[in-house]
Chain A
Amino acid sequence: MIFNKYEFESEAKWLEVKKTLYITEIIDDEEVTYLRPEINSIVEIGFICFAWSEGDEPECIDQSTMFAVDMLLNEPFESLDQYIVWPSPVGVHTFGGDDSLYLAGFCKVNPDSPYCKIDE
């Protein structure tokens, strides 16, 4: 199992990519849709807010322009690789009990990160 985080330049771009993650067949005039076997779970995070205003009624004052999506993969899926991002573990969202999956991937790419260093 692989836990990856992705960002897309717009929601429209994500929706375009999302279509490629499903297989749709027509069987006797019936549309049948499956998630590709490489993909296990998809969670659409959307536009992440990095900072909120002070006060009683906080509003987002620094919002990402990128559309964020978290996925669990059963196997690598190369066409998604160009959209992978590596925020510090574990970002704003996780799959229950799967933090170590993300950390494993993160530390392969960022071996010198404080999250990956051996202490003593």
Chain B
Amino acid sequence: MSLYGDASILMFPSGYKEDKLYSLKPTDGTGDLSFARSSSATRVNEQGLIEEYLLGSELITNGDFATNLNFWSTSSWWVWNALGAYHPSATTHKPLYQQCAVVGKQYYITFDINIVSGKAKFSLGSSTGSTTQVIANNLQTGSYSYLVTAAAEYIVFNRQQGFNAEFYVDNVSVKEAQTNNVPRIDYTGGGCGKLLIEPQRTNYFPESNNVYPTASSKTANATSSPEGLENASLYVENTATTSHGAIKTAIFPTLGNTTYTFSVFAKAKERKFLKMSLYANSAITNAQGFDLENGTVTDSDSSIEDFGNGWYKCTTTKSINNSTGGYNFAAIYTGTDATTYFYQGDGTSGFYLYGFQLEQGDFASSYIPTSGTTVTRTQDTSSTTSSNIAAAINSEEGVQFIDFDRFDIDGQVNSFTLARSFQPSNNYIIIAYRTDRILGYIRSNGVYQTTMVAYGTWTMPRIKVAFKWKVNDFALWINGVEVKTDTSGTTFAANSLDTIIFSGATNQVNQQFNARINAIAVYDTALSDEDLTTLTTL
């Protein structure tokens, strides 16, 4: 830890808010990183659960109607009841409402409805209880949740027009939800949080948690999912002699050979073996041998990851050709053993599934929930530029360090850069990684001073890289080993470098530093070999 204490810039992913990731050093805030992502995204939180929103505090008072209807406006029609707020039979508009929102802000709203007759409606509206933004019509008994951008200040419950409705409302909660531009501190696999920076990805499953059964029955909301909610489905095989499981047809876009990654969360019940199948252009591609008890898989293009509570994330990456645009599907099948997936079912055995995802690319990115359409999570970006940060970077000599978990991204140069905001393409220091190599290079006043490329197959995923710069003394360190040196070259004039960016110096396409980042540091002196060994040893 003392080496980290010597850094002039130090960031462990911990403190954050919308648009911002705090650095530990400098302590005056000048090293804080701005953060942007123009869509929502999920992470694994400290409890190991998948989470989509950064939620604020509760904005509803007396949402559980514990003993009365205080703090609610009721048009003198609603009555308190042990089951919640009670709406006696009515065909006319009798609203229950409370002020809680600011127009333009986003909210995560949850509540329970218990219908006696007719149907209910939920809206946002005005101080008179009129509805100006209908969120949900024709509500029946159930628990509901919505992500809403408010166009009015009050939440409003009332009967569905056209019905003589009698119902109860209970457990109302409204919290401000931040989704876009929120840095993701990810706890996948446990341990300390890591800054998750991912490329843009689209989930081709239009209903990622509602996939049709095939030769099976499906029971929704059968058990607790990796989200911590009772929303995982149970698939039970029928008695036919066939393949049993879940299937989505018409899922692949019409494209020639393309690399896809298919992932799903699965939990054993009576059945503990799983196969993933992808079909297009009359050709089937299988990945089998996922063992949901021992957490192993036999297919070489596949992986299985323990998500706790019996859940495993099963993943396979395959090249699929759907050039004809004909019949195609993605499917999950149960097996009686690691190699048998076509058999006569017993009508009672099954397994649990949650969170289907099919995306283009070489690895499974974080879960992208969908509910009716395909959904895209956009690229995460992070950087900082200031004259003050220039004071924390010794442009003449120093060390740039990053500790991260790699993704297997083919063809992309993932770059972590110190640059000059003025003329960035001519002045920079970059640590970068590709699938099979680590790079370190310096360009000063438009001239490459050193270019180091180390090829290797370091153990996935974690890696520590340090790049030392000093006149006629450059070195690239990986996992405790000095892998490249260069004894010729100059550096920069004082205060030249004033930017940190998780991308290439000029923010080029396909140069974002996609990874799970444990720490970054910048030192204002060229550290000794002993220190660099200590700093980069896993």
Contact = CB atoms under 8 A, between A and B. Distances in A.
A and B co-occur in one complex: yes
Interface of A: 1, 22, 27-28, 32-35, 40-41, 43, 45-47, 49, 52, 57-60, 63, 70, 72, 90-98, 100, 118-120
B378 A27 contact: no
B446 A28 contact: yes
A93 B379 CA distance: 17
A76 B48 CA distance: 40
Contact of A35 (B158, B161, B377, B509): B509
Interface stretch (B129-137, B485-493, B513-521): B129-137
A63 B200 CA distance: 26
Contact of A52 (B179, B250, B255): B250
23 contacts: A27-B425, A28-B446, A33-B508, A41-B200, A45-B253, A52-B249, A52-B250, A58-B249, A59-B327, A60-B250, A70-B376, A92-B373, A92-B374, A93-B374, A93-B375, A94-B376, A96-B369, A96-B376, A96-B378, A97-B40, A97-B147, A100-B149, A120-B131
A92 B253 CA distance: 12
B75 to A, nearest CB: 13
B39 A98 contact: yes
Nearest to B123: A119
Interface string B110-132: 00000000000001000000111
A24 to B, nearest CB: 10
B508 A63 contact: no
Given A34-B506, A46-B254, 6 more contacts: A32-B425, A59-B326, A72-B378, A96-B369, A100-B106, A119-B161
B238 interface: no
Interface in B443-489: 446
Contacts of B425: 27, 32
A59 B376 CA distance: 25
Nearest to A33: B509
A92 B375 CA distance: 9
Contacts of A32: 425, 506, 508
Given A93-B373, A96-B376, A97-B147, A40 B507 contact: no
A85 to B, nearest CB: 15
Given A32-B508, A49-B250, A119-B134, A95 B376 contact: yes
Given A40-B378, A41-B379, A63-B325, A96 B40 contact: yes
A96 B131 contact: no
Contacts of A119: 123, 131-132, 134, 161
A96 B179 contact: yes
Contact of B39 (A49, A92, A95): A95
B9 interface: no
B180 interface: yes
B93 interface: yes
Contacts of A46: 253-255
Contacts of A22: 509
Interface in B153-182: 158, 161, 179-180
Nearest to A117: B134
Given A34-B507, A35-B509, A118-B132, A93 B376 contact: yes
A70 B254 CA distance: 17
B41 interface: yes
A90 B206 CA distance: 12
Contacts of B106: 97, 100
Contacts of A93: 202, 373-376
B202 A34 contact: no
Contacts of A72: 38-39, 378
B250 A58 contact: yes
B368 interface: yes
Contact of A41 (B134, B253, B378): B378
A118 B152 CA distance: 11
The residue in B39, B206, B250, B425 that gathers the most chain A C-beta atoms within 10 A of its C-beta is B39
Given A57-B327, A58-B250, A58-B327, A43 B376 contact: yes
Contacts of B426: 27
A1 B376 contact: no
Contacts of B508: 32-34
Contact of B376 (A41, A91, A100, A120): A41
A100 B147 CA distance: 10
A28 B427 CA distance: 13
Contacts of B149: 100
B80 to A, nearest CB: 25
A91 B41 CA distance: 20
A97 B370 CA distance: 10
Interface string B224-251: 0000000000000000000000000110
B379 A97 contact: no
Contact of B161 (A57, A92, A120): A120
Contacts of A57: 249, 327
Interface in B76-128: 93, 106, 123
Q: Give 5 closest A-B pairs by Cβ, nearest first.
A: A97-B40, A96-B40, A100-B149, A96-B39, A97-B179
Contacts of B507: 34
